[in-house]
């Protein structure tokens, strides 16, 4: 339980509308997009960096765990208060502080919605490249914590490639900045270290991001297949032809039906799979690459290759892709999204293995993923009302992730480790490497109060979730 004195100080700091502590309110903050749950003792809503500093100092005084939270769209339990304590919700720190088009930079608070950055500069011919499927809801702070990706990061890179500087608050309340508008400052790359650290070291209060100019021409292709093997082989064939689209997305037959019934985006209901491919750049280069991709797809067995004829048709195809997770809710009451990575050449055998896991556990598994970089997103449909369904789902997910590791891949490409995959980190990294990660964590957060129980395994020899009290009257977690 949160000490009464700690709650009293937080209430004095933020006012009656600056926090939530009733059970009926806290229940809304006990989950994200994963299958795990844990309830915080209090949720606070800072408006300034100074508020965050004061909150952190109160948490330190009473030895209370502290967890940062954006929009709660994460898929690995990253924003769940696993050990209780204080959840710092950044939804009221949502201002774009500066737009510097001459230097192609913007400075934003962590609660700014991802898409709002692009909308703010769209009329001037610029955009913000990282585009998670949840970009209409997810926030920049959460993107920084998880090092989020998205369909169009195949060519542009993930969040870390577009974050140039941070303002952060340490667990003792110290504020410091890393990086800045400059392209490459000397010294250690602390911005890179903290981007993707999942809130286990600091709380981010300000972000400097890179803006990019809109391309001269955009073309979107839909390649349709009667075999998902053929779709998977096409991805490798495109790479072999030295073409790097900005996006190569794959949807299998199960997903196509769910998406089309929900969005009517123009996807074929009878296909085994489709590839949604997007090209951007100089007009002459893009037009030439369209034909090269058409040839590559047809050589791998595509039954049809369509080119979006208008901006409206292109937007509709992407609407289907980005609203896919919502479409699943029409078919299954619950689902579990995985996030393994394999080399592009291993996409076909990985899809076959996922099919075998589906049969083994008697669960429907649909596939929608960033095929261009081998970032697999098998979606396991299940029903928590059925005894044993959740346990089977988690077991199936672990088997798929283990296969990704064995194939030379990783347990996450963009969703983060969180509390979903931290016990699998030992399958991916050596004990020495994990110990080095632990030492970095302890350097920033020696008392392990920042988002405890995330990223690193919690067993003996690594970080424990439960920590001793730090101050007089402090609670033990």
pLDDT of residue 471: 34
Give the chain's mean pLDDT: 94
- Residue with the two structure tokens 């039906």: 257
pLDDT of residue 465: 41
Higher pLDDT, 325 or 248: 248
Q: Are strands 217-225 and 19-20 parallel, antiparallel or unpaired?
A: unpaired
pLDDT higher than threshold 60 for residue 308: yes
Nearest partner of 196 among 249, 132, 121, 142, judged by Cα: 142
∠ CA(81), CA(200), CA(63), 5° rounding? Answer: 65
The residue-averaged pLDDT of 298-319 equals 96
pLDDT higher than threshold 90 for residue 404: yes
pLDDT higher than threshold 50 for residue 74: yes
What is the number of other CB atoms lying within 10 angstroms of the CB of residue 184?
A: 7
Q: Are strands 212-213 and 163-169 parallel, antiparallel or unpaired?
A: unpaired
What is the number of other CB atoms lying within 10 angstroms of the CB of residue 344?
A: 18
The residue-averaged pLDDT of 1-29 equals 97
Nearest partner of 76 among 382, 420, 454, 343, judged by Cα: 420
pLDDT higher than threshold 60 for residue 179: yes
Q: What are φ and ψ of residue 340, in 5° steps?
A: -85, 160
Per-residue pLDDT reduced to its tens digit, 407-447: 999 999 999 999 999 999 999 999 999 999 999 999 999 99
pLDDT higher than threshold 50 for residue 468: no
The residue-averaged pLDDT of 191-198 equals 98
Q: Are strands 19-20 and 42-44 parallel, antiparallel or unpaired?
A: antiparallel
Per-residue pLDDT reduced to its tens digit, 81-137: 999 999 999 999 999 999 999 999 999 999 999 999 999 999 999 999 999 999 999
pLDDT of residue 329: 85
The residue-averaged pLDDT of 227-251 equals 96
Q: Are strands 96-100 and 334-337 parallel, antiparallel or unpaired?
A: unpaired
pLDDT of residue 184: 82
pLDDT band at 476 (very low <50, low <70, confident <90, very high): very low
pLDDT band at 464 (very low <50, low <70, confident <90, very high): very low
The residue-averaged pLDDT of 364-383 equals 96
Q: Which residues pair with 139 in a beta bridge?
A: 113
pLDDT higher than threshold 90 for residue 325: no
What domains lie within the chain, and their CATH numbers? 4-89 (3.30.43.10), 96-213 (3.30.465.10), 217-326 (3.30.70.2190), 332-418 (3.30.70.2740), 429-467 (no CATH)
CB contact at 8 A, 271 and 226 = yes
pLDDT of residue 91: 98
Residue 9: HSE in the Cβ half-sphere, 13 Å Cα cutoff: 16
pLDDT of residue 330: 87
pLDDT band at 459 (very low <50, low <70, confident <90, very high): confident
């Amino acid at each position: 339980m949160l000490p009464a004195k700690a709650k009293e100080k937080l209430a004095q700091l933020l006012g009656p509308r600056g926090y939530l502590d009733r059970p009926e309110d806290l229940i809304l903050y006990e989950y994200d997009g994963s299958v795990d749950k844990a309830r915080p003792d209090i949720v606070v809503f800072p408006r300034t960096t100074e508020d965050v500093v004061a909150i952190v100092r109160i948490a330190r005084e009473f030895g209370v765990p502290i967890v940062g939270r954006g929009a709660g769209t994460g898929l690995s339990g990253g924003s769940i208060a696993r050990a209780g304590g204080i959840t710092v919700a950044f939804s009221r720190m949502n201002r774009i502080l500066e737009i510097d088009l001459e230097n192609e930079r913007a400075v934003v608070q962590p609660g700014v919605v991802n898409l709002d950055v692009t909308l703010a500069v769209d009329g001037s011919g610029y955009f913000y490249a990282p585009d998670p499927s949840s970009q209409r809801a997810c926030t920049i702070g959460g993107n920084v914590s998880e090092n989020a990706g998205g369909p169009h990061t195949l060519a542009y890179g993930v969040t870390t490639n577009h974050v140039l500087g941070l303002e952060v608050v340490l667990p003792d309340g110290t504020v410091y900045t890393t990086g800045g508008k400059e392209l490459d400052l000397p010294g250690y790359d602390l911005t890179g270290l903290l981007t993707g650290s999942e809130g286990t070291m600091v709380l981010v209060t300000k972000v400097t991001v890179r803006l990019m100019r809109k391309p001269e021409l955009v073309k979107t292709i839909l390649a349709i297949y009667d075999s998902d093997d053929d779709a998977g082989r096409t991805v490798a064939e495109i790479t072999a032809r030295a073409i790097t689209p900005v996006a190569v997305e794959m949807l299998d037959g199960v997903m196509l039906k769910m998406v089309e019934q929900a969005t009517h985006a123009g996807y074929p209901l009878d296909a085994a799979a489709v590839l949604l491919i997007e090209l951007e750049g100089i007009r002459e280069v893009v037009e030439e690459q369209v034909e090269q991709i058409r040839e590559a797809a047809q050589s791998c067995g595509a039954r049809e290759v369509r080119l979006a004829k208008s901006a409206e048709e292109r937007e509709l195809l992407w609407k289907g892709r980005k609203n896919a997770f919502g479409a699943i809710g029409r078919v299954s009451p619950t689902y579990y999204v995985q996030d393994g990575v394999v080399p592009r050449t291993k996409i076909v055998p990985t899809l076959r293995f996922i099919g075998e896991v589906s049969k083994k556990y008697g669960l429907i598994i649909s596939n929608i993923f960033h095929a261009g970089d081998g970032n697999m997103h098998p979606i396991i449909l299940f029903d928590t009302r059925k005894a044993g369904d959740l346990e089977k789902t988690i077991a199936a997910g672990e088997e798929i992730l283990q296969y990704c590791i064995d194939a030379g891949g990783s347990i996450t490409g963009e969703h983060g480790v969180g509390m979903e995959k931290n016990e699998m980190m030992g399958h991916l990294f050596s004990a020495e490497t994990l110990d080095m990660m632990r030492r970095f964590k302890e350097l920033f957060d020696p008392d392990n109060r920042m988002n405890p129980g995330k990223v690193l395994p919690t067993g003996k020899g690594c970080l424990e979730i439960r920590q001793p009290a730090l101050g007089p009257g402090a609670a033990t977690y």
